[in-house]
Amino acid sequence: MTSRLVTRRHALAAGVAAAGGVMLGGCSRSLPPTYGSMLRLADNFTYVAHRTLLPGQSLVREYGRADLSSFPAVGTIDPASSKRTEVAETYRRWQAGGFGDWRLSVSGAVARPGAWSLQELKALPSRTQITKHTCEEGWTAIGEWTGVPLSRVLDAAGLQPSARFVTFKSLDRRYDSIDLLDALHPQTLLAYGMNGADLPVAHGAPLRLRVERHIGYKSMKFLTEMIVTEHFDDGGDRGYPKNGWAWYTGI
């Protein structure tokens, strides 16, 4: 009975994944794998439905300064006290040098791979936006974010025509990706400022992502690395899908 169920589930998964692939231009590797799970299959269904039914680049609501709310910090709140000595030592070194020797490495399907310092990122045109952070846990908070639109950095790096996803890695060993539609969204920022000041440590200093049409865990803190990829990269054991969490979190 068990094996029959699994088989049926696999068949269903393959069928819907194929249907999704057709809807996304026939490229099956443009969707996250389902690992034979109905739940990951449903995530993909939501992803394809949103990309098919919702307007491509609608902006999230922006608020005024009077709307700024208190803002919990969750997940890693201080890498300097990480149990991983390498993480803690690296972060203490960065802090001691005012994040002067921190770099964001940019690689993959780009014409000009390289490493960006905080000063170089701050020299690019910036955007400030007051938006709502929606945590998967159920709470929300309104904060003001200042940073460089991710599209500016991707332009500077020179996206290759084969580029489809942008993968991010962080000091606290997170590994996640967004599709190019979200990467090029006008409100997707590499943020170095919060509420008019430097990004606080608990909120991801020196640089965090803001992906405003997603749930909060998509907005990765403590960024170190950005890789432009041609295919979906699940991040292996460090990625969300293999750990039982949705990759697409627009819902």
Asked if 244 interacts with another protein (CB under 8 A), we say yes
Query: Per rule CB under 8 A, is residue 139 in the interface with another protein?
Result: yes
Considering only residues 182-241, where is the footprint of another protein by CB under 8 A?
194-196, 200, 202-203, 212-215
Any bridge partners for residue 209, and if so which? 190
Which part of the chain contacts another protein (CB under 8 A), choosing from 93-101, 118-126, 131-139, 156-164?
A: 131-139
82 binds another protein (CB under 8 A): no
Q: Which residues pair with 106 in a beta bridge?
A: 114, 226
Nearer to another protein, 142 or 207 (CB): 142
**Residue 104, strand partner residues:** 116
Q: Which of 25, 55, 125, 236 binds another protein (CB under 8 A)?
A: 55
Q: Return the bridge partners of 167, or none.
A: 177, 227
Q: Residues near 237 by Cβ (< 8 Å), separated by ≥ 6?
A: 243
Pick 121 or 215: Cβ nearer another protein:
215
Phi, psi of 171 (to 5 degrees): -60, -35
Q: Which helix (H) or strand (E) holds 225?
A: strand 223-229
* Beta carbons of 111 and 155 less than 8 angstroms apart: no
Distance CA 241, CA 236 (A): 8
Stretch that binds another protein, among 24-32, 58-66, 146-154, 163-171 (CB under 8 A): 58-66
The verdict on 180 binding another protein (CB under 8 A) reads no
> Rounded to an integer, what distance in angstroms lies between the CA atom of residue 48 and that of residue 236?
22
Residues in the interface with another protein (CB under 8 A) total 53
Residue position matching structure tokens 């996640």 = 176
Which of 78, 86, 101, 155 lies at the binding interface for another protein (CB under 8 A)?
A: 78
Q: Rounded to whole angstroms, how far apart are CA atoms 107 and 116?
A: 11
104 vs 176, which CB is nearer to another protein?
Answer: 176
85 binds another protein (CB under 8 A): no
Task: Catalog residues that contact another protein under the rule CB under 8 A.
Answer: 38-43, 45-46, 50, 54-55, 58-61, 63, 67-74, 77-78, 132, 134-143, 194-196, 200, 202-203, 212-215, 243-246, 250-251
